[in-house]
């Protein structure tokens, strides 16, 4: 009698296991579904800036060479200054690092400070600014 009960109990556990196994396997498997989600990118909001026209010639013009302080940028612009003076008539070349050393800073740090630099350079009334930057 007792043996019979134990056998029936074991059979019950075995059958329960067989029945539950596929269910647990199917719940572990990822299910496809339709995801409605909100775009995390956001829209670009930029106010357009007016772009100034370039001169047709550099003859008789004042050119500001602007160095931001990155290594060798001044050496590169020094050579450009020599070439401009040799190739263009009546050109005036101003070097920012000589006339406005406070504008030499590899990382301006803020738009306000960049604007300060630009205003300082504009005071020299150049017709064109040639700037060297990056590493």
Partner 1 sequence: MGIPTVTISSSEFVSLAKDTSVGKGAADLSFVIVPHPLGMIPLAEIREKADRAFPLIMKAATEWKPEAKLPPIKPIYPAQKLIFEGTISEFNQYLMDKGFSIGLPVIPPTPERVKKMLKGTSRKPDELLGMVPPRMGALTVELVAIHAVMAGCKPEYMPVLIAALEALLDPKANWRGLTTTTATSSILVIVNGPIIYEVGIASRQGAAGSGHQANASIGYAINLIADIVGGSKSPSPDKSLLGGPGDFVAWVFGENQLALPKGWEPYHVDRGFKRTDSVVTVMGVYPPVDNIDHWSTSPEEHVRWWSYLASPLLSIGGPCWISQMDQPHIIAIGPEHAQLISGAGWTKEQFQKTFWEQARIPFSAWPKGCPNVDLLVKRFGPVNADTPIPMTLKYEDIHIVIAGGAGKHSHFFAPFPGCFPVTKLIRK
CB closer to partner 1 out of 3 and 50 = 50
Longest dimension (CA), the chain: 120
Question: Is the distance from CB of 94 to CB of 80 less than 8 angstroms?
Answer: no
In angstroms, the CA 16 to CA 24 distance is 12
| Cβ count within 10 A of residue 73 | 21
Q: Using the rule CB under 8 A, is 44 a contact of partner 1?
A: yes
Q: Does 48 bind partner 1 (CB under 8 A)?
A: yes
Token representation of residue 45: 């909001």
**With CB under 8 A as the contact rule, which of the stretches 5-13, 15-23, 118-126 interacts with partner 1?**
118-126
Interface mask toward partner 1 for 72-91; x: CB under 8 A: xxxxxx-xx--x---x----
DSSP string, 58-87: -TT-EEEEEE-S-TTHHHHHHHHHHHHHHH
- Exactly one of 2, 18, 41, 90 binds partner 1 (CB under 8 A); that residue is 41
CB 127 within 8 A of CB 63: yes
**106 is a contact residue toward partner 1 (CB under 8 A):** yes
Our finding on whether 35 is near partner 1 (CB under 8 A) is yes
Please report whether residue 30 would count as binding partner 1 according to CB under 8 A: yes
Residues that bind partner 1 (CB under 8 A): 30-49, 51-58, 69-77, 79-80, 83, 87, 97, 101-102, 104-113, 118-119, 121-122, 126-135
């Amino acid at each position: 009698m007792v043996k019979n009960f134990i056998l029936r109990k074991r059979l019950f556990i075995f059958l329960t296991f067989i029945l539950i196994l596929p269910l647990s396997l199917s719940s572990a498997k990822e299910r496809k579904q339709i995801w409605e989600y909100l775009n995390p990118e956001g829209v670009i909001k930029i106010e357009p800036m007016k772009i100034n026209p370039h001169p047709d010639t550099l003859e008789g013009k004042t050119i500001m060479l602007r160095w931001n302080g990155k290594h060798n940028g001044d050496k590169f612009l020094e050579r450009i200054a020599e070439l401009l003076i040799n190739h263009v008539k009546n050109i005036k070349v101003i070097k920012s690092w000589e006339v406005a050393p406070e504008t030499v800073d590899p990382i301006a740090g803020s738009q306000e400070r960049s604007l300060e630099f630009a205003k300082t350079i504009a005071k020299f009334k150049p017709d064109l600014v040639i700037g060297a930057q990056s590493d």
